[in-house]
Amino acid sequence: MATYKLLLLPGDGIGTEVMAEVKRLIAWMNSHGLGSFETEEGLVGGAAYDAEGVAISDATMALAQASDAVIFGAVGGPKWADVPYEARPEAGLLRLRKDLALYANLRPAICYPALADASSLKREVVDGLDIMIVRELTGGVYFGEPKTIVDLGNGQKRAIDTQVYDTYEIERIGRVAFELARKRGNKVASMEKRNVMKSGVLWNEVMTALHAREFKDVALEHVLADAGGMQLVRWPKQFDVIVTDNLFGDLLSDVASMLTGSLGMLPSASLGDVDPATGTRKSMYEPVHGSAPDIQGKGIANPIAMLASFAMALRYSFGLGKEADFIETAIAATLDKGLRTADIKSDGTTVVGTREMGQAVIDEVARLAGA
Ligand code: NAD
Ligand code: IPM
Ligand code: MN
């Protein structure tokens, strides 16, 4: 059995709490022959700032570069509200994405049958939902230059963020979306704002050309991103794969999370290109949610997004599809049994903490694996 090197970066707030459950799952898998993982742990975000004065150190970046996958918790919180912009906790996450060239962010929003009543939307709107948001992750307004605040000298300042996309960046994320669609519902909705933004015009043009050239068998529709947000809450099941830029993808995936019941349910995979020489790719797996300062330290955070992110690591980085299925089926079975963390509770269910939910999922994995 191949041994994989994982770099665990718990980060801040509930990042450390949900990562604890992944660590227990990894230990269980190692000791029951379901995988062979070597783990190393590093500091990122506010935790790294407090210890090292930066949101991620060069040494930790080197560990990330050398690992087979990075498993990331969450960063940020009010404690670091006044640290210099360059050292803010979120900068650690952005450096990981940029330096590892993780341009493809896969954010699946699945409404587990047991949670159809946990959404703030009507059951029939979300029941059976299974969409995949493909967010461009290393370009756009997150990284475009100039990005600055200029003092105009007359008591006024000017803040500048720059949205930049090159053809190749749009094409490669489009290819990821079309290829995923072929294995799912064969439909892609490309979301931009070509009516206002030049980057939207190019995005639309490149998607159209790529589709005509390589993916005619997949249905493509172009949706203005604001209308896309509206459609996501009106009738989300019309979508299969949504492909969009860095900022719209950030917003639309938080919207999509509420279709599944809670932000605590949404996992993600951030992937780079496959290296033709080794057949491997750089990757990082993280829940979509943040450090949730409002509930940190209480032991009530939902660990499912984090555990499901680890399942995505098994599937996308290590070809361990069966083991990934075990984890995802175990999550569904745990929910079917009526166990809920506070964020997804409803009448007649049993509310448990982070630790109990993590253990219940591990118990189900054990049952499914016959171990
Ligand atoms: P958040 O995702 O941390 O929390 C939003 C709301 O969702 C809160 O009410 C929180 O309690 C709830 N929530 C989130 N995850 C949950 C879980 N697993 N279980 C139960 N409830 C959960 O977003 P925010 O409050 O806007 O941001 C807090 C900090 O996190 C900020 O510093 C922000 O920059 C950072 N952030 C980090 C990441 C990341 O590290 N990937 C992602 C988003 C936000
Ligand atoms: C996310 C987060 C990050 C983003 C922040 C923390 C930098 O909101 O992963 O969704 O904006 O991409
Ligand atoms: Mn976000």
**Bridge partners, residue 224, by sequence:** 192
Best residue among 9, 88, 90 to mutate for probing ligand 2's pocket (most ligand atoms within 8 Å of CB) is 90
The distance from CA 137 to its chain's CA centroid, rounded to whole angstroms, is 10
Cβ–ligand 1 contact at 220 (below 6 Å): no
Sign, Cα dihedral of 13, 262, 70, 80: negative
The distance from CA 258 to its chain's CA centroid, rounded to whole angstroms, is 14
Dist. CA 349 → ligand 2 center (Å): 31
From the CB of residue 163, how many other CB atoms can be counted at a distance below 10 Å?
A: 17
* Residue 72: HSE in the Cβ half-sphere, 13 Å Cα cutoff: 33
Contact residues for 36 (Cβ-Cβ < 8 A; gap 6+): 1, 2, 3, 4, 30
Q: Which fold has domain 130-259?
A: Isopropylmalate Dehydrogenase (3.40.718)
- Known active-site residue 127: no
Q: Which CATH architecture has domain 1-104+273-371?
A: 3-Layer(aba) Sandwich (3.40)
> For the segment 295-346, what is each residue's pLDDT rounded down to a tens digit?
999 999 999 999 999 999 999 999 999 999 999 999 999 999 999 999 999 8
- Known active-site residue 226: yes
> For the segment 122-162, what is each residue's pLDDT rounded down to a tens digit?
999 999 999 999 999 999 999 999 999 999 999 999 999 99
Which pLDDT does position 371 carry in this prediction?
A: 80
Enumerate the CATH 3.40.718.10 domain ranges in the chain, comma separated: 1-104+273-371, 130-259
> For the segment 183-223, what is each residue's pLDDT rounded down to a tens digit?
999 999 999 999 999 999 999 999 999 999 999 999 999 99
Q: What are the tokens at 336?
A: 């079917």
301 CA: nearest ligand 1 atom: 19
- Known active-site residue 50: no
Dist. CA 46 → ligand 1 center (Å): 14
Ligand sitting nearest the alpha carbon of 73: 1
Q: Record the pTM.
A: 0.97
Mean residue pLDDT of the chain comes to: 97
Give, using CA atoms, the residue closest to atom 32 of ligand 1.
Answer: 76
Which pLDDT does position 1 carry in this prediction?
A: 84
Biggest alpha carbon distance in the chain?
72
- Known active-site residue 193: yes
Question: Could you tell me which of 362, 277, 269 has the C-alpha nearest to residue 317?
Answer: 269
